[in-house]
Amino acid sequence: MAITSVKNLKEFSTANERFEGAHLLCPGCAHSMIVRELMNCSDDNLVIAANTGCLEVSTAVYPYTAWDTSWIHIGFENAATAASGAEAMYKARKRKGTLKNPDAPVKFVAFGGDGSTYDIGFQWLNGAVERGHDFTYICLDNEVYANTGGQRSSSTPIGSSSTTAPAGRVSYGEKQNKKDMMSIMAASGAAYVAQVSPNKWKNMAQVFQKSLATEGPCYINAISACCTEWKFDPKDTIHISDLATDSLVFPLYEIVGGHELNINYRPKNIIPVRDYLGSQGRFKHLFKPQFEHVLNEWQTRVDAQWDYLQRREEARV
């Protein structure tokens, strides 16, 4: 795989312009940062599939497109199916000798939001991973159905207020804890899974390069802060991402071969979870006295998860 240098952010950010700026994503949306890093970190030919969602509807407004590469969209749930089908066809044609340029490296990538990944498209993704297709699936995780009105998904964290799990005088919003897609994908047979965040751009680029170089299915969970539904100023996207990683609400780690866990980022100064929650309007109700127990539950759960990840890394199990 031809790898682009990730030493200098300014040069890297314009290294391989295959995702055009003329799209309709919201100002401050982290989706474009994540996608551009993926497109810039390799010189290989890329075949991209996209589930219906913010990314798809904002980058392919007929008759225009922001994608300067092969790009497929079929439906809300089946980007993994499209990518794995294209990958299977490519391998078949390569065996038959019918490719015009059989030596040109081709990589297959699928993008989906958390709604189409955690929920609606889960069985399609899980099936593609189980079959062992050589592709990378990237979940743009903004923890809500942002494209269709802000409904909760199984990625929506406890205590968040959404249109289908609203906070009020009695309810504190979402009652369920976020689904652990990292463990699920590792247990389903993914060769490589990792969690990334755009504020740690170099780590994210290195993870993307590692996943593209890994043979077999790879799953990347990328936090993608949504200024619209998380309710923060668009200029603060990276700041919110910093709070997410430094509070350990969104720890950055990888699982290789289904069992080897490596932590990719250890904050020098771990901040309280309430600093992260307090930066977003979707959690503002949690700071009322009657919901103090939810804040305490948040901190306890995050601390326990971090302890678990560190023990997993030390044990290498």
> In this predicted model, which residue has the larger pLDDT, 42 or 240?
240
Q: Does residue 4 fall inside a structural domain? A: no
Percentage of residues of the chain with pLDDT beyond 90:
85
Give yes or no for residue 135 having a pLDDT over 60: yes
Say if 1 falls within a structural domain: no
Render the chain in DSSP notation, one character per residue: --B---S-HHHHTTSS--B-S---PPTT-SHHHHHHHHHHSB-SEEEEEE-SSHHHHHH--TT--SB-SEEEE--SS-HHHHHHHHHHHHHHHHHHT--SSTTS-EEEEEEEEHIIIIIITHHHHHHHHHHT-S-EEEEEE-SSBGGGT-B--TTSPTT--BTTB-B-SS-BS--SPPP-HHHHHHHTT-SEEEEE-TTSHHHHHHHHHHHHHSSS-EEEEEE---HHHHT--GGGHHHHHHHHHHTTSS--EEEETTTEEEE----SSPPPHHHHHTTSGGGGGGGSGGGHHHHHHHHHHHHHHHHHHHHHHHHT-
Query: Considering only 3-17, 34-48, 134-148, 298-312, which range has the smallest mean pLDDT?
Result: 3-17
Decide if pLDDT at 124 tops 80.
Answer: yes
Q: Give the pLDDT confidence score for residue 104 in this predicted structure.
A: 87
pLDDT attached to residue 317: 53
pTM for this prediction? 0.95
- Is the confidence at residue 277, as pLDDT, over 60? yes
In a domain, 3, yes or no: no
Q: What is the pLDDT of residues 45-82, one digit of tens each?
A: 999 999 999 999 999 998 999 999 999 998 889 999 99
pLDDT at 188: 96
- Confidence class for position 31, pLDDT limits 50, 70, 90: very high
Please indicate, yes or no, if residue 184 is contained in any of the structural domains. Answer: yes
Q: Give the integer Cα–Cα distance in Å for 254 and 66.
A: 30
End-to-end CA distance of the chain: 29
pLDDT in tens, 74-123: 888 999 999 999 999 999 999 999 999 888 889 999 999 999 999 999 99
Query: For the chain, what percent of residues have pLDDT higher than 70?
Result: 96
Backbone dihedral angles phi then psi of residue 185, each to the nearest 5 degrees? -65, -40
Whether residue 297 has pLDDT greater than 60 = yes
Tell me if 249 is assigned to some domain.
yes
- 308 or 18: which carries more pLDDT confidence? 308
The pLDDT, as a whole number, for residue 12 is: 72
Distance in angstroms (rounded) separating the CA atoms of residues 125 and 184: 11
User: Is 278 part of any domain?
Assistant: yes
Lowest-confidence pick of 1-5, 28-32, 166-170, 230-234: 1-5
CATH value at residue 169: 3.40.50.970
pLDDT for position 5: 62
- Quote the number of domains for the chain: 1
Contact 312, 261 (CB under 8 A): yes
pLDDT (mean) for 7-28: 80
Q: What angle do CA 267, 261, 194 make, to 5 degrees?
A: 75
Burial of residue 30 (number of CB atoms within 10 Å: 0-12, 13-18, 19+): buried
The reported pLDDT for the residue numbered 268 is 95
Instruction: List Cβ neighbours of 232 (8 Å cut-off, separation of 6 or more).
Output: 225, 240, 279, 280, 281
Residue 248 backbone class (left: φ over 0; alpha: ψ -120 to 50; beta: rest): left
26: in domain: yes
Q: Is residue 2 part of a domain?
A: no
* DSSP strand pairing (218-223 vs 253-256): unpaired
Which residues, at least 6 apart from 266, have a Cβ–Cβ distance to it below 8 Å? none
pLDDT over 60 (residue 3): no
Q: What is the rounded average pLDDT of the residues 137-141?
A: 98
Q: How many CB atoms lie within 10 A of CB 71?
A: 17
Residue 15 clears pLDDT 80, i.e. is over it: no
Mean residue pLDDT of the chain comes to: 94
- Which carries the bigger pLDDT value, residue 17 or residue 195? 195
Residue 151's alpha-carbon distances to 1, 78, 139, 162, 286, in angstroms, are 39, 20, 17, 6, 19
Whole domain around residue 225: which residue ranges?
Answer: 9-315
Tens of pLDDT, residues 158-172: 999 999 999 998 899
